[in-house]
Amino acid sequence: MSKNISELSGRKGLDKNLFEALGNAAAKTGTPDAESLEQIRNEFLVGKSTVYGTTSFYDFLRPENQGKKVYLCNGSACMTAGTQANVKEKLNIHFKAEEIGEMCCLGRCHENSAFFYDGQNYSGKDIENLSNIKDKKANSAENYFVGCQGKSILTAPVEPIESYFNILRDALKKGQDAVLNEIKASGLRGRGGAGFSMGFKLESCKNVNDPTKFIVCNADEGDPGAYSDKYIMEQRPLSLLLGMMIAGFVVGASKGVVYIRGEYPESIKIIEEAITQLKSRNYLGDNIFNSTFNFDFKVIHAQGAYICGEETALLSSIEGQRPEVRVRPPYPTQQGLFNKPTVVNNVETLANLPFIIQNGGKAYAAVGTQKSSGTKLVSLDSFFNRPGIYEVDMGTPLSFVINELGQGFRTDVKAMHIGGPLGGLVPVHKINDLSIDFDSFAANGFLLGHASFVCIPKAFPMIDYLQHLFQFTAHESCGKCFPCRLGSTRGAEMLGKAIDEQYKIDKKLFADLLQTMEIGSLCALGGGLPLPVKNALQYFNNELQTYFK
């Protein structure tokens, strides 16, 4: 990360954004041409290496993306469901091979067969209607079950916009310290995976003396199997936007950035429409509700990079730099976007704030467990008899989620990958040992993360799934640290040789590789991959031992 480039990128503010300019230049052909890159770098006073390094990294900006017209989902949930070979076969009828790209993941894990065409996602039986879709005579009719067990916070009925913003009106009257104290009393922990205290993060940023601060919503929900953030953005966008405004008031920020993954075009559209609605009612801008609080939003369209789910890589991305993970300290709350104090939280975390401010921190803390307060959204994939989004109190038994809410598996499943590609690989015999909270999963050697469920059926070879995880990490690595960049590639190669060439993997060598990635990686991408691999080696040794010496 270059502090100088951060300053240069920020000199025009958010309205004229380097990353956005690169995306606009790629809109017609799939990648910016040389002339456009030269104009952009001159306008923003950055070098050729900066703009080329950025565009060559992202799936939807790199030169290889030129001419792509349709994209096949290659996410873990679609892969284990076995639907994508049929989808690709049907796409090949209508498109040339060079016109077909890949995306990961489209958030259609509840029904699979997912693909992206002409700015919209499709799934389920849509592939059988491809001719009408191409002729613009059909749209996707996505539908999934939304349920709740316990306190309804993120699945409660959507209130009128005036009711939402009465919460903000009351917060402005209470003052920054009082609102912060409610958030701290709630015990709210980050829902993106790390489980970090939100109150601590907000207080850290609030205490920095700087007139320019930012609230950044990490809506780059790239974990295959997860679509809970997508649910919030598309079905209750005001909860997210109001949450960002509350956070902005607490820390003294006047700008909010919603960084939404390009694989969620519907989410982008709905969030932008909601912001327009707020502006039409004078709920944004200067002196909101005749106070001294000013706030406005900027929506950033991401361009396809899982690593941008890591908060410092995301900040570099917004600045138009290559999205490499930054060394900490300094932390974003001290030196973040454009070198200014910044709070970064994910969608689900921020969407909890309106309830906390309306009902009080103690009311939120009374839900869930002592160390994991509140509720958690879980995403169930198509291997369940009733897939969908469920809100449960923290501490709810995993067995209840699977057997009562999801109504059990529709076919034989041997494991669930919970919490994204870096989450724990949970064998079905451990179901009764776990509950939906951070500490239960950690105590059992797993990670709750996003609480997304990707099921692995009995017929799916575990060795193939492990190779997929290494390949995913190798593709998505920012490349800054060699344990992740090289370790993921070497791991994928070893597993590939074991599958294809009867190569026997040396156990000590493989263990050393995992340890190097775990200890030496800068962020959770390389550092987190060893967890599900170790889980697989522990619980599926009988299946995997033939591939090792």
Residues 6+ apart with CB under 8 A from 209: none
pLDDT at 192: 79
Burial label, 485 (beta-carbon count in 10 A; 0-12, 13-18, 19+) = middle
pTM over 0.75? The answer is yes
33: tokens are 């041409």
Q: State the pairing for strand pair 413-418/424-427.
A: antiparallel
pLDDT at 371: 92
Element (H, E) at 32: none
Integer Cα distance of 215 and 341 in angstroms: 9
Q: Which amino acid is residue 93, in one-letter code?
A: I
pLDDT at 2: 67
135: tokens are 């002729």
In angstroms and rounded to an integer, the radius of gyration of the C-alpha atoms of the chain is 23
Instruction: Please state which CATH class domain 462-547 belongs to.
Output: mainly alpha
Coil/strand/helix, residue 499: helix
Please state, as a whole number, how many other Cβ atoms lie within 10 Å of the Cβ of residue 172: 19
Burial label, 329 (beta-carbon count in 10 A; 0-12, 13-18, 19+) = exposed
- The DSSP letter of residue 295 is B
- In CATH terms, is domain 375-457 a member of 3.10.20.600? yes
Find the DSSP H helices in 370-409. Answer: 398-400
CA contacts within 13 A on the Cβ side of 507 = 9
Q: In angstroms, how far apart are the furthest CA atoms of the chain? A: 72
399: tokens are 């067995």
465: tokens are 């799934």
Integer Cα distance of 281 and 506 in angstroms: 65
Architecture of domain 70-143: 3-Layer(aba) Sandwich (3.40)
Question: Distances in Å between the alpha carbon of 374 and those of 165, 339, 360?
Answer: 22, 33, 12
Render pLDDT for 152-187 as a digit per residue (tens, 0 to 9).
999 999 999 999 999 999 999 999 999 999 999 999
Per-residue pLDDT of the chain (549 residues; tens, 9 = 90+): 567 778 877 787 788 889 999 999 999 999 999 999 999 999 988 889 889 999 999 999 999 999 999 999 999 999 999 999 999 999 999 999 999 999 999 999 999 999 999 999 999 999 999 999 999 888 887 899 999 999 999 999 999 999 999 999 999 999 999 999 999 999 999 987 778 899 999 999 999 999 999 999 999 988 889 999 999 999 999 999 999 999 999 999 999 999 999 999 999 999 999 999 999 999 999 999 999 999 999 999 999 999 998 999 999 999 999 999 998 899 999 999 999 999 999 999 999 999 999 999 999 999 999 999 999 999 999 999 999 999 999 999 999 999 999 999 999 999 999 999 999 999 999 999 999 999 999 999 999 998 999 999 999 999 999 999 999 999 999 999 999 999 999 999 999 999 999 899 999 999 999 999 999 999 999 999 999 999 999 999 999 999 999
Helix axes 530-539, 507-520, angle to 10 degrees: 150
Coil/strand/helix, residue 48: helix
Cβ proximity of 354 and 226 under 8 Å: no
Question: Distances in Å between the alpha carbon of 388 and those of 13, 147, 223, 258?
Answer: 39, 8, 16, 24
| Dihedrals phi, psi of 33, to nearest 5 degrees | -85, 170
Fold observed for domain 147-365:
Rossmann fold (3.40.50)
